[in-house]
Amino acid sequence: MAFDDLKAELALLINQMENQPEDRHELYEQVREKLNEMRAFGMPLPEDLVRLEEELEAEFAAAKKPKTS
């Protein structure tokens, strides 16, 4: 897949995330998948999307932690 195609798909995913926040987990997985494809091809990663991936991962990890009283 060409770099421009990946960038276009990632932009579409970000747009979907803004318009459909209820699908954050699915979009997170799709962003992760695309970034992993870019990593596999040695392509440069957009810093803002890497940061988004990290923030969502931290958010979901925090939600999984059991709360202690």
**What's the predicted TM-score (pTM) here?**
0.63
Q: Quickly state the pLDDT bin for 68 (edges 50, 70, 90).
A: low
C-alpha to C-alpha distance for 49 and 55, rounded to whole angstroms: 10
Domain residue limits, the chain: 3-63
Q: Convert the pLDDT of each residue in 6-59 to its tens digit.
A: 888 888 877 776 766 567 788 788 889 889 999 999 999 989 889 989 998 998
C-alpha to C-alpha distance for 60 and 31, rounded to whole angstroms: 14
The residues near 16 (Cβ < 8 Å, ≥ 6 apart) are 23, 27
**Per-residue pLDDT, 24:** 79
